[in-house]
Each structure stands twice: as C-alpha cells, then as structure tokens.
Amino acid sequence: MVLESKILPANDWKGYKSRPFLIAGPCSAESEEQVMATAREVAQIKDISVFRAGIWKPRTRPNSFEGVGSEGLKWLRTVKQETGLMVGIEVANEKHVYEALKYGIDMLWIGARTSVNPFTVQEISDALSGVDVMVLIKNPINPDLELWIGAIERIAKAGITRLGAIHRGFSAYEKSVYRNHPNWQLPIELRRRIPDLPIICDPSHISGTRQYLYEISQKALDLNFDGLMIESHIDPERALSDSAQQLTPNDLKELLSRLILRNPVASDPKLLDILGELRQQIDIFDDSLVEILERRMQVAETIGRYKKENNITILQPTRWDEIIRKVMVNGRSRGLSSELIDTIFKAIHQESINHQMRIMNNGIATPEETS
C-alpha cells in the first residue's frame, strides 16, 4: 500500500536521537508543578526525544478527571523552553489541533477513542492541512485494522510526512492480565501493508500496570517497532489518572537500561545461510499446513452432505466441545499455548461451518465469505 504523502522514517523525525524513538511523560498534566518536576527528571534520561502529557482526557465515564485543558499547553511550552525536549499531546477534534499549534506543540497523536470515528479523523485531517508537525495515530479500541489504516490514510492526505502509528492494544471480552490485549498480529500486518510507516508501542496502555511494562517494551523492540511511548509521573501513586501504569522517572530510566536492542537484519554470511535453510523448512511446513487444511475441509464437506441428506443441523455443540478439549490437551503436551490452539481451531471450525453452509444452501456463499 502506498500513501498519498511520502512517509519519512523515524530517524528523519525532528528530535530523533536513536532507536528506539522514546516518548515519555505523565498520563495527564495535572498542575504546573507536577509537569515541570516530571519534565526536569525525564529530561535527564538519555535518548528521550518527546515529553508527553494529556491535556484533554477522553474518559470512559463522566466525573473522572478529564484534563486541565488549554491552560496545560502553557506549561508544556515552558517545558520545551527549559529542557529542550519536544512536547506532544493527544488531540480529539479540530479545536484541539488549533490550540496545540498555537502553543508550538511538536507532536500530536489521535487516541483510540477518536480513531474509531472517520468523521472526527477527517475533521482533524482538514485542520492539519499544510501543517508541518509529527502526527501519530493510535489503533482503534477494537481490533479493526481497516479502520486503523483508514485513519492513517486520512491524515496522510493532509500532507503530513512525519506520520506514524501507535500500538496501544485492543479491548477484548476475554479476561486478560493486560488492560488491553496486545494482539501483536495486527501491528505486524499493518507493517506488512504499509512497510514505510513507523510504529510506536505504548506498553503503558497495553499493560495497565507497571508489572508488565518491561515485558511489553522488550517484545515491541524484538518485533522491530520504531519506538516506545511510556507514561512517567513524578509521584504515580498520587496521579489523577492511570496511576497503576505510570513509572517514576528513575524507574523509567532503570527499565530503559535493561532493554536489549537487537539488529533488524543479519549481516554475517554464515548466519544468513543458516537462517535461509531454516526458513526453507518453515516454507515446507507452511505448504503442508495448507494442504492438510484443504483435506480437512474436504472431509467437512462430505460430513455436510450427510447432514443435508439426513436433515441434521450443522452445529453439533457436543462434538465441538469434544474437539476443543482434546486439542487443548494435545497442544499443551507439545508446548503450544492455549491461546494459539484456541485461535487456530476456532478459525478452522468457522471455516468448516462456512463450507457446510454452502452445501446446505446449494452453493450460495455465506456472508462471512463474501464480506
């Protein structure tokens, strides 16, 4: 996929120091004292490029702290003047954009609650037309890649070249240790679809607690993400929003010091030969998997014909429960995660249902197959 404007790599962004591109600061700007105290300590951390702070906070429910508003932009201007750090905020409408630009904000990002709405994203895009500013787009709350790409395309049409995406995880109905499920396959697919687009990981919103920040940050770097956005507060326990996921600047510095930055490509000829042989094996296994799936669907279609001839419903809950229990045990015994087995076999089961539905309906494709 080619966007309408040329996208600059992260190392061409204003203020870039090194990989990963680092953005840090409090979830919310609460007072001038809190902002300045945090900024002074964050500025002492090597390689931090942007100081972030929430000015307008789109909260899930009313009566929560919703930010200090435009007054906080004055504090960020002071941060920029005193520390030399660039400053960034979230914007949710055109008024926010105009206010941010008036105070010299260097980076804007569109949040997960805004990127779901094409009308609002277009409004922001129109306000950004002809403006030279960094813009990042967070993934929508729900795992909808096309909606995420649509928001990116709209901002690109405004002529923004320092453009990137933020992976902040997705809402999920299943219980999870994370606040927002990482669902790493979506940003990986985004990278495949738009290879030149820088991607920043937001481990704070994925984790929801300090406990998993290092784990998520390291995984993002291992997946060759371009940067990290991590929330840091001078006194997290007293923060007015998201206190559990914020680090003190000292703790942030310690976390960053433990991260391992690996090379995105191999340069050793011997290593390249070894990787080439192993990848050939992977290709053979992948081809075998597709062939096995084809044969499995052929059997499912035969079962579907028997069901049609004998007026039997497609879904057999007892049989499906038997299958999923058996493969879960088998998968765990072979070192495969329950999540992997659950995802794969639910997809296979749905595909089998689609094939049998087509037989039941005399060759008419199901809505899932035509959408």
Domain ranges of the chain: 10-258, 269-370
CATH class of 269-370: mainly alpha
Looking at residue 341, its pLDDT comes to 95
Looking at residue 173, its pLDDT comes to 75
Do residues 90 and 110 touch, judged by C-beta distance below 8 A?
yes
Question: What burial letters (b/e) apply to 287-323, b meaning 16+ CB within 10 Å?
Answer: eeeeeeeeeebeebeebbeebeeeeeebeeeeeeeee
Pairwise CA distance, residues 330 & 352, whole Å? 21
Amino acid at 326: K
Name 174's Cβ contacts closer than 8 Å, sequence gap at least 6. 181
CATH architecture designation of domain 10-258:
Alpha-Beta Barrel (3.20)
Do residues 5 and 157 touch, judged by C-beta distance below 8 A?
yes
Do residues 94 and 129 touch, judged by C-beta distance below 8 A?
no
pLDDT < 50 positions in the chain: 370-371
Looking at residue 269, its pLDDT comes to 81
The sign one gets for the Cα dihedral 220, 244, 83, 56 is: positive
Looking at residue 4, its pLDDT comes to 64
- The residues facing 230 across adjacent strands are 24
Q: For residue 269, is the peptide bond before it cis, meaning its omega torsion is within 30 degrees of 0?
A: no
Pairwise CA distance, residues 99 & 76, whole Å? 12
Do residues 174 and 184 touch, judged by C-beta distance below 8 A?
no
Looking at residue 367, its pLDDT comes to 55
Q: Which helix (H) or strand (E) holds 74?
A: helix 71-83
Same fold? 10-258, 269-370: no
Measure Cα distances from 78 to 52, 75, 246, 367 in Å.
Answer: 13, 5, 22, 56
Pairwise CA distance, residues 210 & 204, whole Å? 8
In this structure, how many other beta carbons lie within 10 angstroms of the beta carbon of residue 59? 12
The CA-based dihedral angle spanning residues 188, 190, 191, 197, taken in that order and rounded to the nearest 10 degrees: -140
Pairwise CA distance, residues 22 & 46, whole Å? 10
Reported as a single tens digit per residue, the pLDDT across 53-62 is 999 977 666 7
Looking at residue 2, its pLDDT comes to 66
Pairwise CA distance, residues 84 & 369, whole Å? 54
Token pair listed for 77: 């201007």
Task: Using DSSP, state whether 290 is helix, strand or coil.
Answer: helix
The structure's pTM equals: 0.82
Looking at residue 60, its pLDDT comes to 67
Looking at residue 370, its pLDDT comes to 47
